[in-house]
């Protein structure tokens, strides 16, 4: 087989890139190690920056999102029994969209099917070859046979645990990371949201978040120790603890119910540089991870794909200046999003080793945010997303 761009990873980053390239007349093949059902079964974030919304429209998958997505003009932040609003529309004249990653992935697969573009699932032992030369290729095993795909470029969109980043030599690769000493226990429940907008809550007992997927489907989170497991948190105990971390007026009206899905996710900040080496370009979680506090994970993948699609389209037409600048352009935005996600995490979580001084500083920061329009504007500008 031969194609122009081999895309490693069939999640949102790889599929959006494939759509943008297909619409530009560039052949591409997506190679994914899991089944399609497995990819569609993953529960992920659903807060989209408006730049991401526009990118999905350009990729031809915005119709269902426009009908069923939920635009939000702000978020609410709770501190004890105090609650205040960050008004995106007033402060920065932008908004965000609530539309689940599972729905985005489904739309992207269906669009790819309509375009008749090839997708390989259940590809085992994926290996990248020749990325330092002009004739890269990808091999994998499937159905007891070895397969090979020759290409001009490889896009590594296969996540933190994928093969793409590890193909870049360790002598060239630089990695920066911070692991946080807690995780998020999240449940999905067939209950109405706690409020019309997301509520981020900082309390002495730890962080909590009330989010949503649809008017009848909610996603809630609480900060828990890394040593905890989902078995430690039956539904009744989860709801009780969530209520303790919310303002009384919110807890009083919270509708509870059985969980559909429950999981604990560790929090990590991670960046790998550079994002391009030879004929390999990284995008999304293959190159960086952010804690979910700032709602940046999928949105960062989208901005990477925006820059990478521009670069590959330019290379298709004989210009290499965009591909030469890809890593620099992408990383400039990545580090700003990393900073914001780190700051939101530090602002809203309790740390096991924090001192009384640390707690007072966090309380002062929250009080300042509630009182200062300038501080709220800075948060809003970063939350809705810096321009691509």
Question: Cα(95)–Cα(89) distance, rounded to whole angstroms?
Answer: 6
CA torsion 356→361→367→372, rounded to 10°? 170
Q: Tell me what the mean pLDDT of segment 347-352 comes to.
A: 96
CATH architecture of 5-72+97-177+268-345: 3-Layer(bba) Sandwich (3.50)
Q: Are 296 and 345 in contact (CB under 8 A)?
A: no
**pLDDT tens per residue across span 88-138:** 999 999 999 999 889 999 999 999 999 999 999 999 999 999 999 999 999
Measured CA to CA in angstroms, residue 334 lies from 121, 284, 345 at distances of 29, 10, 16
Beta strand residue intervals within the chain, DSSP E: 5-8, 28-31, 47-49, 70-72, 74-79, 82-87, 96-98, 119-120, 124-129, 137-142, 145-150, 153-156, 174-189, 199-202, 208-214, 217-224, 261-273, 276-277, 280-282, 288-289
**Contacting residues for 361 by C-beta, under 8 A, at least 6 apart:** none
Q: Which residues contact 311 (CB under 8 A, 6 or more apart)?
A: 281, 322, 323, 325, 326
Active site residues: 72, 200, 292, 296, 383
The per-residue pLDDT for range 187-231, each reduced to its tens digit, is 999 999 999 999 999 999 999 999 998 889 999 999 999 999 999
CATH superfamily of 181-266+349-384: D-Amino Acid Oxidase, subunit A, domain 2 (3.30.9.10)
Domains 5-72+97-177+268-345 and 181-266+349-384 share a fold: no
Residue reference for tokens 């329009």: 373
Separation CA 219–CA 228 (nearest Å): 19
Residue range 344-363: average pLDDT? 96
pTM of the model: 0.94
Per-residue pLDDT reduced to its tens digit, 135-161: 999 999 999 999 999 999 999 999 999
User: Is the separation of the CB atoms in 29 and 14 below 8 Å?
Assistant: no
**Domain range annotation of the chain:** 5-72+97-177+268-345, 181-266+349-384
pLDDT higher than 90, residue 44:
no
The answer to whether the beta carbons of residues 182 and 349 sit under 8 Å apart is yes
């Amino acid at each position: 087989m031969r194609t122009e761009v081999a895309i490693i990873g069939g999640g949102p980053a790889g599929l959006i890139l494939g759509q943008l390239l297909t619409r530009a007349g560039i052949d591409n093949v997506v190679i994914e190690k899991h089944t399609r059902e497995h990819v569609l079964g993953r529960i992920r974030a659903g807060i989209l920056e408006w730049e991401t919304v526009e990118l999905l429209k350009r990729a031809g998958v915005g119709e269902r999102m426009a009908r069923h997505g939920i635009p939000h003009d702000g978020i609410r932040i709770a501190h004890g029994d105090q609650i205040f609003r960050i008004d995106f529309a007033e402060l920065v004249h932008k908004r965000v969209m609530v539309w689940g990653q599972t729905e985005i992935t489904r739309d992207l697969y269906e669009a790819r099917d309509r375009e008749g573009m090839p997708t390989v699932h259940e590809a085992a032992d994926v290996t990248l070859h020749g990325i330092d030369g002009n004739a890269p290729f990808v091999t994998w095993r499937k159905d007891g046979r070895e397969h090979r795909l020759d290409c001009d470029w490889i896009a590594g969109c296969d996540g933190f645990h994928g093969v793409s980043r590890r193909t870049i030599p360790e002598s060239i690769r630089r990695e920066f990371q911070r692991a946080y000493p807690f995780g998020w226990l999240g449940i999905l429940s067939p209950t109405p949201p706690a409020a019309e907008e997301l509520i981020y809550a900082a309390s002495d007992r730890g962080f909590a978040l009330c989010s949503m997927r649809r008017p009848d489907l909610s996603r809630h989170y609480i900060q828990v120790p890394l040593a905890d497991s989902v078995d430690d948190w039956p539904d009744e105990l989860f709801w009780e603890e969530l209520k303790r971390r919310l303002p009384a007026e919110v807890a009083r009206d919270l509708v509870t119910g059985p969980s559909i899905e429950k999981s604990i996710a560790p929090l990590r900040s991670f960046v790998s540089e550079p994002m391009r080496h030879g004929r390999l370009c990284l995008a999304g979680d293959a190159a960086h991870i952010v804690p979910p506090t700032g709602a940046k994970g999928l949105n960062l993948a989208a901005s990477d794909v925006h820059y990478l699609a521009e670069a590959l389209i330019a290379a298709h037409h004989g210009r290499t200046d965009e591909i030469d600048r890809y890593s620099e352009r992408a990383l400039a935005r990545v580090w700003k999003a990393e900073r914001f996600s780190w700051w939101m995490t530090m602002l809203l979580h309790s740390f096991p080793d924090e001192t009384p001084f640390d707690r007072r500083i966090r309380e002062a920061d929250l009080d300042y945010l509630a009182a200062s329009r300038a501080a709220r504007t800075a948060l809003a500008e970063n939350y809705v997303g810096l321009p691509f």
